[in-house]
Each structure stands twice: as structure tokens, then as C-alpha cells.
């Protein structure tokens, strides 16, 4: 069911939140996803939730990331993720840090979910060959049974990064 299909009596129930219907903002499920992602539902997440998101994206991908050069680098401890590089990846001659300590919102692992990244070599949007979290209607199921849209994933990760990428949210 698309989010726009969940309107009841002029209100939307989404993960326990009720939002007033905004008729001009919800004329397609993609626009509705954008409305929801920028609304009250965006909440603080933890490092473990980020790993849940990345594992769900990987499980939904056309290719298995464990067969790639970088592997499933996110399945590590918090300090290794925050301070470590993406295995076997460089941008120019420089190893790619998972988290950009100077500007966390511009961290490689996040940017590459949104689109291609780096110019030498150009790294395509991940997961390679898709499906992509930016695809209209994209969603994944998390281990706790929650279904989450790609737009919400990106918004939650961005908020986590803006909040300092703290281990416990």
C-alpha cells in the first residue's frame, strides 16, 4: 500500500503519527513520501538503526555487496564505522572515509545512496544496478517488521549525521 492510500477521514496514520491531509502535497505516492519524510515522522535514530537500513537496502539489491570490493563494511562496531575508511575505495589517491569528520552530511556512504559520487573514479549510485532508495515508491522491510520508504531512510540518515552521528541517537 502506498502512503497516499493510507488516508482515512482526511488524516494519515503513519507509524503511529496522524498527519492532516495536505491535498496539494499528496497527488502521487512519491510526493506523499516526500511530504511524510519532511514532516513529524523523522526521528532520531541510532547507529544500529543505520546498520538495519543499510542491511535492508543490501538485501533488496540486485547484487550482493559481500561480493564487492567494499563488502558489507557497515557491519562493524561504531568506532570502526565512524573513523574507518570504506574498504578498497579511493577518490583520487585518497582513501574514502566512511564518515566525513569535517562535514558529516557529506559522508560518502550517505551521498552514494543519493547518487553517483567522486569524479576520479566516478562511483555509481549504490547499490550498484539498484534498486535505488531514490526510486519512486522504493521501500524495504526492517528486522522489526517496519516498512520504510527510501525517502524516509535518506531523511533519517541525514538527520543522524546532522545530529553528530551519535552511537545511541
Give residue-wise pLDDT tens across range 85-111.
Answer: 999 889 999 999 999 999 999 999 999
Whether residues 18 and 66 fall in one domain: no
Calculate the alpha carbon distances from 23 to 15, 20, 28, 40 in Å.
20, 9, 10, 17
Whether residues 95 and 34 fall in one domain: no
SS3 for 25? helix
Whether residues 57 and 29 fall in one domain: no
Whether residues 23 and 51 fall in one domain: no
- At 32 the pLDDT is 38
Task: List, as one string, the DSSP characters of 75-134.
Answer: SS-HHHHHHPEEEEEEETTEEEESS-TT-GGG-HHHHHHHS-EEETTEE--SSTT---TT
Residue 7 sits in which domain range?
1-41
Whether residues 141 and 162 fall in one domain: yes
Whether residues 88 and 9 fall in one domain: no
What's this model's pTM, rounded to 2 decimal places?
Answer: 0.73
Number of structural domains (the chain) is: 2
Q: Distance between CA atoms of 156 and 9, rounded to whole angstroms?
A: 28
Whether residues 3 and 25 fall in one domain: yes
Per-residue pLDDT, averaged over 157-163, amounts to: 97
- At 136 the pLDDT is 96
- At 40 the pLDDT is 41
Whether residues 49 and 5 fall in one domain: no
Whether residues 17 and 47 fall in one domain: no
Per-residue pLDDT, averaged over 103-124, amounts to: 91
Q: At 66, list the grid cell.
A: 559481500
pLDDT band at 23, cuts 50/70/90?
very low
Q: Which of 25, 41, 57 is the last residue of a domain?
A: 41
Residue 1: CB partners within 8 Å, gap ≥ 6? Answer: none
Whether residues 35 and 49 fall in one domain: no
% of the chain exceeding 90 in pLDDT: 54
Q: What is the pLDDT of residues 27-81, one digit of tens each?
A: 333 333 333 333 445 567 999 999 999 999 999 987 777 777 677 889 999 999 9
Whether residues 25 and 51 fall in one domain: no
Given a contact cutoff of 8 angstroms between Cβ atoms, the answer to whether 126 and 12 are in contact is no
CA proximity to 2, closest of 156, 139, 155? 139
Whether residues 29 and 52 fall in one domain: no
Amino acid at each position: 500500500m502506498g502512503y497516499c492510500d493510507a488516508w482515512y477521514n482526511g488524516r494519515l496514520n503513519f507509524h503511529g503519527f496522524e498527519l492532516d491531509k495536505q491535498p496539494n502535497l499528496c497527488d502521487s505516492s512519491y510526493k506523499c513520501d516526500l511530504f511524510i519524510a519532511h514532516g513529524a515522522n523523522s526521528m532520531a535514530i541510532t547507529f544500529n538503526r543505520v546498520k538495519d537500513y543499510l542491511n535492508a537496502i543490501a538485501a533488496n539489491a540486485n547484487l550482493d555487496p559481500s561480493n564487492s570490493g567494499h563488502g558489507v563494511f557497515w557491519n562493524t562496531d561504531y568506532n570502526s564505522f565512524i573513523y574507518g575508511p570504506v574498504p578498497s575505495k579511493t577518490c583520487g589517491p585518497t582513501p574514502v572515509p566512511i564518515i566525513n569528520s569535517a562535514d558529516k552530511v557529506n559522508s560518502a556512504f550517505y551521498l552514494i545512496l543519493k547518487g553517483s559520487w567522486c569524479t576520479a573514479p566516478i562511483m555509481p549510485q549504490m547499490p550498484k544496478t539498484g534498486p535505488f532508495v531514490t526510486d519512486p515508491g522504493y521501500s524495504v522491510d526492517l528486522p522489526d517488521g517496519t516498512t520504510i520508504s527510501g525517502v524516509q531512510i535518506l531523511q533519517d540518515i541525514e538527520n543522524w549525521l546532522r545530529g553528530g552521528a551519535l552511537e545511541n541517537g
